[in-house]
Chains A and B, each alone.
Chain A
Amino acid sequence: MLTIKNLHAAVDGKEILKGLDLEVPAGEVHAVMGPNGSGKSTLAHVLAGRPGYTITSGTVTFNGRDLLALSPEERAREGVFLGFQYPVEIPGVNNVYLLKAAVNAARKHRGLPEVDAFEFLTLVREKMRLMRMDESMLSRGVNEGFSGGEKKRNEILQMLVLEPALAVLDETDSGLDIDALKVVANGVNTLRSPHRSQVLVTHYQRLLEHIVPDRVHVLVKGRIVRSGDRTLALELEQRGYDWLLGEAA
Chain B
Amino acid sequence: MSSAALTRLRDEYLARCPTLPESVIGASRRSAAIEALCAQGLPSTREENWRYTNLRLLERARFAPAPEAEHSLPALPAPLPGFARYVFVDGEFRCGADDLPGVSVRTLRTSGSAGEAWEFTAQLPESRLALLNEAFATDAATIDVRRDATTEGIELVFIAASGAQSGACYPRVRLALQSGAQLTVVERHVGAGEGSSLVNSAVRVELAEQAHLRHYRVQKCGARAAWFDTLSAELSRDARYELLLVSTAALAARSTVHARLSGPGAELALSAAALGEGQQSLDMYAMSEHLAARTRTQQTFRGIASDRARVAFNGKIVVHEQARGTDSRQSLRGLLAGAQAEIDLRPQLEIYTDEVRCSHGASAGKLDENMLFYLLSRGIAPEVAQHLLKWAFLEDVISRIAPADLRRQIELGLAGQMSEAATLKELL
Q: Spell out A's residues near B (CB within 8 Å).
A: 48-51, 71-73, 75-77, 81-82, 84, 87-88, 90-94, 97-98, 100-102, 104-106, 109, 141-142, 158, 162
Q: Choose among A50, A51, A90 the residue that contacts B371 (Cβ–Cβ < 8 A).
A: A90
Task: Please give 14 more A-B residue pairs, beta carbons under 8 A apart, in addition to A71-B382, A92-B395, A105-B378.
Answer: A72-B373, A72-B376, A73-B380, A73-B382, A75-B377, A76-B379, A84-B374, A88-B371, A90-B374, A92-B392, A92-B396, A93-B389, A97-B427, A102-B380
- Is B83 on the interface with A (CB-CB < 8 A)? no
Asked whether B379 lies within 8 Å of A90 as measured between CB atoms, the reply is no
Question: Would you list 25 pairs from A and B whose C-beta atoms are within 8 A, ordered by A residue?
Answer: A49-B377, A50-B377, A72-B373, A72-B377, A73-B377, A75-B377, A76-B378, A81-B377, A84-B374, A88-B368, A88-B373, A88-B374, A90-B371, A90-B389, A92-B392, A92-B393, A93-B375, A93-B392, A98-B375, A101-B378, A101-B380, A104-B423, A105-B380, A106-B379, A162-B378
**Which of chain B's residues has its CB closest to A144's CB?**
B392
- Is B370 on the interface with A (CB-CB < 8 A)? yes
- Is B384 on the interface with A (CB-CB < 8 A)? yes
Complex CA–CA separation, A141 to B374 (angstroms): 13
Contact of A48 with B377 at beta-carbon distance under 8 Å, contacts A91-B395, A94-B427, A101-B427 already known:
yes
Complex CA–CA separation, A158 to B374 (angstroms): 12
10 closest A-B pairs by CB: A92-B392, A76-B379, A105-B379, A92-B395, A102-B378, A72-B376, A88-B374, A97-B427, A77-B379, A93-B392
- Give B396-410 as 1s and 0s: 1 = Cβ < 8 Å from A's Cβ atoms: 100000000000000
**Which of chain A's residues has its CB closest to B393's CB?**
A92
Report chain A residues within 8 Å CB of B377.
48-50, 72-73, 75-76, 81-82, 84
Chain B residues 281 to 302 lying within 8 A of chain A, measured CB to CB, are none
Chain A nearest Cβ from B411, distance in angstroms: 12
Complex CA–CA separation, A48 to B372 (angstroms): 13
Asked whether B369 lies within 8 Å of A51 as measured between CB atoms, the reply is yes
Complex CA–CA separation, A106 to B374 (angstroms): 15
- Is B391 on the interface with A (CB-CB < 8 A)? yes
Q: Spell out B's residues near A (CB within 8 Å).
A: 368-371, 373-382, 384, 388-389, 391-396, 423, 427
Report chain A residues within 8 Å CB of B393.
92
Q: Choose among A87, A88, A97, A109 the residue that contacts B379 (Cβ–Cβ < 8 A).
A: A109
Q: Choose among B369, B373, B379, B391 the residue that contacts A102 (Cβ–Cβ < 8 A).
A: B379
Asked whether B395 lies within 8 Å of A76 as measured between CB atoms, the reply is no
Asked whether A88 lies within 8 Å of B427 as measured between CB atoms, the reply is no
Complex CA–CA separation, A105 to B377 (angstroms): 11
Complex CA–CA separation, A98 to B388 (angstroms): 10
Chain B residues touching A, majority SS: helix
Asked whether B369 lies within 8 Å of A87 as measured between CB atoms, the reply is no
Asked whether A87 lies within 8 Å of B427 as measured between CB atoms, the reply is no
Complex CA–CA separation, A81 to B379 (angstroms): 9
Chain A nearest Cβ from B170, distance in angstroms: 37
Asked whether B376 lies within 8 Å of A93 as measured between CB atoms, the reply is no
Asked whether B427 lies within 8 Å of A90 as measured between CB atoms, the reply is no
Asked whether B392 lies within 8 Å of A91 as measured between CB atoms, the reply is yes
Complex CA–CA separation, A101 to B387 (angstroms): 13
Asked whether A101 lies within 8 Å of B423 as measured between CB atoms, the reply is yes
Report chain A residues within 8 Å CB of B388.
93
Q: Choose among B381, B384, B391 the residue that contacts A92 (Cβ–Cβ < 8 A).
A: B391
Asked whether A98 lies within 8 Å of B378 as measured between CB atoms, the reply is yes
Asked whether A51 lies within 8 Å of B373 as measured between CB atoms, the reply is yes
Chain B nearest Cβ from A3, distance in angstroms: 21
Report chain A residues within 8 Å CB of B395.
91-92
**Which of chain B's residues has its CB closest to A50's CB?**
B373
Chain B nearest Cβ from A42, distance in angstroms: 14
Report chain B residues within 8 Å CB of A49.
376-377
Report chain A residues within 8 Å CB of B427.
94, 97, 100-101
Chain B nearest Cβ from A20, distance in angstroms: 20
Asked whether B376 lies within 8 Å of A73 as measured between CB atoms, the reply is yes
**Which of chain A's residues has its CB closest to B385's CB?**
A73
Report chain A residues within 8 Å CB of B389.
90, 93
Chain B nearest Cβ from A49, distance in angstroms: 8
> Which of A49, A72, A158 is most buried by chain B, counting CB atoms within 10 A of its CB?
A72
Q: Choose among A71, A77, A81, A88 the residue that contacts B370 (Cβ–Cβ < 8 A).
A: A88
